[in-house]
């Protein structure tokens, strides 16, 4: 295949298609040489000639434009909205370390999980943590076909057209040993000098400035018009990839980075293999010392187990990989003034004090609020209105008050008096003995709690309804359009019958109203774990919600079991407590939630309007253990308890902490105690570690 010398207006469709394929590959090759290797083979004028030839042929034969066409670098037609993309493998979030002790604990957890000697080195790859937007790129036969944001880790947004405009994103991969089906993970970011130039241009155009390079990058890739994205100076660093097992030849994280670079991706050169804690901390301090001199923002160092086989064995817990951690740089601090102290009422009725601050910039972000946690914290630090205080902000964490400067305090200053009643509904606010929280006692009628529950219901890890944000919830609640979660899903029907439809109200129109109703309809089918999380059960976060969904499998079973568990002598109560990660306190909150008639009414109303499929545990490895309930007891000879549990769960098994009549296998090790005895009494199959390994197959 080669370029023709015919004038464009003399090409046949077949000749044009052949030449466009040739141009796509040729321009991708020169992009790779220029951007990745800095060794161009042709002049800028010759390169421009290729691009112009490609553009001219596409103008004459628009139907022949390829999905990997170089012309897409300048943007495609605007999109109506962002489609949702389900990630084949979840995009996990890293745990954070803030001290050398946290890093040591991380390495010790790895040694315990893998049952390594305490003095054995755990070789780590240390890389800078780029402060950008995570993205997933999919390639088929070496050609870019799909790009998505992280989203909630399970589901992101399709930003393919926008990512095609980023010059660091190869449209066609180069080099050898490229897997047929390939997913690249990396970070979209903006360099500091480009960010400053962009803000300068926005100011000149009368547009608001971006707060920092990360916000600028995130806003740029979420433009509905890719031509706008194409004008933004975006870059991409790749740091990982996924492929089918037979297509993956790399053995270490270092190998992965070399492969990514060979295929045409930019990867960080600021990386180092570290054998122990001392080497890790040395690299951390080296990066911290040059942080300000880099041309892009980093907010820490990521440590990854270098051995990919170990990475696979370590797996993940919840939404977090066990094999990696982000060591964040020290929090940035600033001094400001407390202009007021407000009391916010959360969805569970907790009264939380918030300091309203004189605006101050911390880490490139303007901060106007800081949490004061609770009344004991206010008293301990003696924070008062008018005080000069020091605040800190680490990453995306809500700013915190570190200390007060009493020497700058005004003479008329008075200690803050925490209210004994709810500032919203006026009901008594009480503290239960042993708790630091003060709660509003009238959850059923308190508007603040109702609004916060609704906000939680539509939040990102819950129903995640696009176009129905916190401000909309507040407005709809005040206007009595949405008072319960079920009202969200009857809104369109009621709107059709209304004399004042939403499209005629301020801030809404035909298109925006239609988009909202479509977004609501898209969430009429919701996964069980998201539904459980959306209910706002005290102490039940996204990880616990998935644990409950995985164990009980259906909303009907969960409701029945929680109802039966109200009797603490029941099998249902024992089964709940047997779940690892659920203690007596959380179990009481769970059972208490299902004890309240109004909570059951909410679930029944939603069940009538929604489809909530049973939770399917997808075993990543086929095994006879799929669907079985297993208990481990005693010390196993070669596997740590954590690794044995991970192996079982990857094969679709449920692992609990107590033996009940529903237990299928009890795996016993050295010094097995009462659980082994209970298994014998109940006639449950007892396995040794060797028998367990033989049953599950290859680890």
| 3-state secondary structure string across 134-187 | EEEEEEECCEEEEEEECCCCCEEEECHHHHCCCCCCCCECCCCCCCCEEEEEEE
Position 555 scores a pLDDT of 94
Rounded to 5°, the CA angle 246-251-253 comes to 120
Element (H, E) at 517: helix 510-521
Position 10 scores a pLDDT of 83
> How much is the average pLDDT of 4-18?
83
Asked if residue 481 has pLDDT above 90, the reply is: yes
Candidates 146, 490, 126; CA nearest to 304 is 126
Say which residue, 331 or 670, is predicted with more confidence: 670
Between 34-48, 107-121, 306-320, the lowest mean confidence (pLDDT) is in 34-48
Q: How far is CA 430 from CA 145, 348, 454, 584, 605, in A?
A: 57, 13, 23, 23, 31
Tokens representing residue 185 in the block: 């993970």
Calculated CA dihedral for residues 529, 533, 535, 537, nearest 10 degrees: 120
State the alpha helices, DSSP H only, in 528-664. 528-534, 542-552, 555-564, 571-578, 584-595, 597-609, 641-650
Between 380-389, 465-474, 576-585, the lowest mean confidence (pLDDT) is in 576-585
Provide φ and ψ at 23, rounded to 5°: -65, -40
Asked if residue 75 has pLDDT above 70, the reply is: no
Q: From CA 119, how far away is CA 277, in angstroms rounded?
A: 11
Q: How confident is the model at residue 238 (pLDDT cuts 50, 70, 90)?
A: very high
> How much is the average pLDDT of 656-662?
82
Asked if residue 77 has pLDDT above 70, the reply is: no
Tokens representing residue 492 in the block: 């369109």
> How much is the average pLDDT of 218-236?
89
Candidates 73, 36, 31; CA nearest to 260 is 36
Instruction: Check: CB of residue 236 under 8 Å from CB of residue 247.
Output: no
Say which residue, 79 or 647, is predicted with more confidence: 647
Asked if residue 7 has pLDDT above 80, the reply is: yes
Q: From CA 617, how far away is CA 653, in angstroms rounded?
A: 8
Integer-rounded Cα radius of gyration of the chain: 29
> How much is the average pLDDT of 332-356?
90
Asked if residue 98 has pLDDT above 80, the reply is: yes
Position 53 scores a pLDDT of 87
Candidates 612, 610, 537, 608; CA nearest to 576 is 537
> How much is the average pLDDT of 6-23?
86
Q: From CA 73, how far away is CA 30, in angstroms rounded?
A: 14
Of the candidates 84, 89, 129, 670, the residue annotated as catalytic is 129
Instruction: Check: CB of residue 264 under 8 Å from CB of residue 170.
Output: yes
Between 250-259, 368-377, 387-396, 412-421, the lowest mean confidence (pLDDT) is in 387-396
What mean pLDDT is reported for the chain? 88
Asked if residue 396 has pLDDT above 60, the reply is: no
Which range has the top average pLDDT, 37-41, 88-92, 485-489, 673-677? 485-489
Position 467 scores a pLDDT of 86
Position 265 scores a pLDDT of 94
Residues 674-686: b if buried by 16+ CB within 10 A, e if exposed? ebbebbeeeebee
Instruction: Check: CB of residue 72 under 8 Å from CB of residue 161.
Output: yes
Position 453 scores a pLDDT of 92
Look up residue 350 and give its DSSP letter: B
DSSP codes joined into one string, 519-555:
HHHTTSB--HHHHHHHTT-TT--HHHHHHHHHHH-SH
Position 462 scores a pLDDT of 92
Asked if residue 235 has pLDDT above 80, the reply is: yes
Q: How confident is the model at residue 646 (pLDDT cuts 50, 70, 90)?
A: confident
Q: Which domains does the chain have, with CATH numbers?
A: 8-74 (1.10.287.610), 95-328 (3.30.470.30), 332-431 (2.40.50.140), 447-521 (1.10.150.20), 528-609 (1.10.150.20), 629-696 (3.40.50.10190)
Q: What percent of the chain has pLDDT over 90?
A: 42
**pTM attached to this predicted model:** 0.67
Maximum distance among all alpha carbons in the chain? 88
> How much is the average pLDDT of 507-534?
92
Q: From CA 188, how far away is CA 424, in angstroms rounded?
A: 42
Instruction: Check: CB of residue 331 under 8 Å from CB of residue 391.
Output: no
Q: From CA 654, how far away is CA 612, in angstroms rounded?
A: 21
Tokens representing residue 464 in the block: 């995640």
Look up residue 429 and give its DSSP letter: E
Q: From CA 213, how far away is CA 193, in angstroms rounded?
A: 10
Position 529 scores a pLDDT of 93
> How much is the average pLDDT of 572-592?
86
Instruction: Check: CB of residue 585 under 8 Å from CB of residue 592.
Output: no
Instruction: Check: CB of residue 692 under 8 Å from CB of residue 638.
Output: no
Position 505 scores a pLDDT of 87
Rounded to 5°, the CA angle 606-610-611 comes to 135
Residues 202-240: b if buried by 16+ CB within 10 A, e if exposed? eeeeeeeebebbbbbbbbbbebeebeebbbbbbbbbbbb
Look up residue 425 and give its DSSP letter: T
Between 119-123, 479-483, 576-580, the lowest mean confidence (pLDDT) is in 576-580
Candidates 479, 477, 423, 438; CA nearest to 455 is 477
Does 129 qualify as catalytic in the annotation? yes
Q: From CA 370, how far away is CA 357, in angstroms rounded?
A: 7
The beta-strand segments (E) located in 191-323 are: 234-243, 272-274, 298-305, 316-317, 320-321
Position 239 scores a pLDDT of 95
Candidates 366, 530, 373; CA nearest to 461 is 530
> How much is the average pLDDT of 91-112?
90
Asked if residue 20 has pLDDT above 70, the reply is: yes
Candidates 325, 324, 323; CA nearest to 642 is 323
> How much is the average pLDDT of 214-233?
88
Position 78 scores a pLDDT of 60
> How much is the average pLDDT of 431-450?
82
The SS3 of residue 74 is helix
Q: What percent of the chain has pLDDT over 70?
A: 95
Candidates 426, 403, 443; CA nearest to 343 is 426
Asked if residue 196 has pLDDT above 60, the reply is: yes
Calculated CA dihedral for residues 353, 359, 360, 365, nearest 10 degrees: 90
Asked if residue 104 has pLDDT above 60, the reply is: yes
Candidates 135, 170, 351, 156; CA nearest to 263 is 170
State the alpha helices, DSSP H only, in 402-481. 447-457, 470-478
Q: From CA 211, how far away is CA 78, in angstroms rounded?
A: 25
Position 111 scores a pLDDT of 92
Asked if residue 625 has pLDDT above 60, the reply is: yes
Tell me the per-residue pLDDT of 177-194, one tens digit each, with 9 for 90 and over: 899 999 999 999 999 899
Counting Cβ atoms within 10 Å, is residue 444 exposed (0-12), middle (13-18) or buried (19+)? Answer: exposed
Between 436-450, 553-567, 598-612, the lowest mean confidence (pLDDT) is in 436-450
> How much is the average pLDDT of 549-568?
90
> How much is the average pLDDT of 649-662?
83
> How much is the average pLDDT of 434-455?
85
Look up residue 283 and give its DSSP letter: H
Position 364 scores a pLDDT of 62
Q: How confident is the model at residue 103 (pLDDT cuts 50, 70, 90)?
A: very high
Asked if residue 699 has pLDDT above 60, the reply is: no
Candidates 549, 555, 699, 698; CA nearest to 617 is 549
Asked if residue 57 has pLDDT above 80, the reply is: yes
> How much is the average pLDDT of 256-267?
94
**First-to-last CA distance in the chain?**
48
Rounded to 5°, the CA angle 203-208-214 comes to 105
Position 236 scores a pLDDT of 95
> How much is the average pLDDT of 646-671?
86
Position 213 scores a pLDDT of 87
CB atoms within 10 A of CB 407: 6
Asked if residue 281 has pLDDT above 80, the reply is: yes
């Amino acid at each position: 295949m080669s370029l023709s010398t015919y004038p464009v207006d003399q090409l046949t469709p077949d000749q044009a298609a052949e030449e466009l394929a040739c141009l796509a590959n040729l321009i991708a090759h020169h992009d790779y040489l220029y951007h990745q290797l800095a060794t161009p083979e042709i002049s800028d004028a010759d390169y421009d000639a290729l691009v112009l030839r490609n553009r001219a042929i596409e103008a004459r034969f628009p139907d022949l434009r390829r999905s990997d066409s170089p012309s897409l670098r300048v943007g495609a037609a605007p999109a109506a909205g962002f489609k949702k993309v389900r990630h084949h493998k979840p995009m996990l979030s890293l745990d954070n370390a803030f001290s050398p002790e946290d890093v040591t604990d991380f390495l010790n957890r790895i040694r315990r999980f893998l049952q390594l000697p305490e003095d054995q080195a755990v070789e780590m790859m240390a890389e800078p943590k780029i402060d950008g937007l995570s993205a997933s790129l999919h390639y088929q036969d070496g050609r870019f076909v799909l790009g998505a944001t992280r989203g909630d880790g399970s589901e992101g947004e399709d930003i393919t057209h926008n990512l095609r405009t980023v010059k660091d994103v190869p449209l066609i991969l180069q080099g050898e040993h490229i897997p047929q089906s390939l997913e690249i993970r990396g970070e979209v970011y903006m360099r500091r000098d480009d960010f400053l130039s962009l803000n300068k241009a926005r100011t000149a155009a009368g547009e608001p400035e971006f707060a920092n390079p990360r916000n600028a990058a995130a806003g740029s890739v979420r433009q509905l018009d890719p031509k706008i994205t194409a004008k933004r100076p975006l870059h991409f660093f790749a740091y990982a990839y996924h492929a089918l097992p037979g297509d993956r030849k790399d053995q270490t994280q270092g190998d992965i980075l070399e492969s990514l670079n060979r295929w045409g991706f930019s990867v960080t050169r600021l990386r180092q293999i570290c054998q122990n804690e001392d080497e890790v901390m040395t690299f951390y301090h080296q990066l911290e010392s040059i942080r300000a001199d880099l041309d892009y923002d980093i907010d820490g160092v990521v440590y990854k187990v270098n051995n990919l086989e170990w990475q696979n064995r370590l797996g993940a817990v919840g939404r977090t990989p066990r094999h990696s951690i982000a060591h964040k740089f020290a929090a940035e601090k600033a001094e400001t003034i407390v202009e007021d102290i407000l009391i916010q009422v959360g969805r569970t009725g907790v009264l939380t004090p918030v300091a309203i601050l004189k605006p101050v910039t911390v880490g490139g972000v303007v901060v106007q609020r800081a949490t004061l946690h609770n009344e004991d914290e206010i008293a301990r630090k003696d924070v008062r209105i008018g005080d000069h205080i020091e605040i800190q902000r680490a990453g995306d964490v809500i700013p915190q008050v570190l200390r007060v400067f009493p020497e700058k305090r005004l003479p008329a200053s008075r200690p803050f008096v925490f209210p004994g009643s709810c500032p919203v509904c006026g009901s008594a606010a009480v503290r239960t003995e042993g708790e630091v929280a003060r709660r509003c006692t009238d959850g059923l009628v308190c508007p603040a709690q109702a609004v916060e529950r609704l906000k939680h219901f539509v939040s990102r890890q819950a129903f995640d309804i696009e176009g129905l944000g916190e401000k909309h919830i507040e407005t709809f609640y005040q206007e009595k359009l949405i008072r319960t979660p079920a009202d969200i899903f009857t809104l369109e029907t009621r709107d059709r019958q209304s004399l004042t439809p939403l499209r005629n109200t301020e801030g809404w129109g035909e298109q925006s109203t239609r988009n909202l109703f479509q977004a609501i309809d898209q969430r009429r089918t919701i996964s069980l774990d998201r539904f459980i999380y959306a209910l706002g059960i005290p102490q039940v976060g996204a990880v616990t919600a998935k644990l409950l969904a995985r164990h009980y499998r259906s909303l009907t079973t969960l409701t029945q079991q929680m109802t039966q568990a109200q009797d603490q002598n029941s099998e249902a109560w024992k089964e709940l407590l047997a779940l690892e990660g659920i203690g007596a306190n959380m179990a009481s909150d769970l059972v208490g939630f299902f004890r309240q008639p109004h909570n059951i009414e909410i679930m029944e109303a939603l069940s009538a309007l929604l489809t909530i499929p049973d939770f399917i545990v997808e075993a990543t490895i086929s095994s006879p253990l799929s669907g079985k309930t297993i208990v481990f007891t005693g010390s196993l000879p070669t596997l740590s308890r954590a690794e044995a549990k991970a192996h079982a769960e990857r094969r679709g098994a449920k692992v609990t902490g107590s033996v009940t009549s529903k237990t299928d296998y009890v795996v016993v090790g050295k010094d097995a105690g009462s659980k082994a005895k209970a298994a014998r009494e109940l006639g449950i199959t007892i396995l040794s570690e060797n028998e367990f390994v033989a049953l599950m197959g290859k680890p």
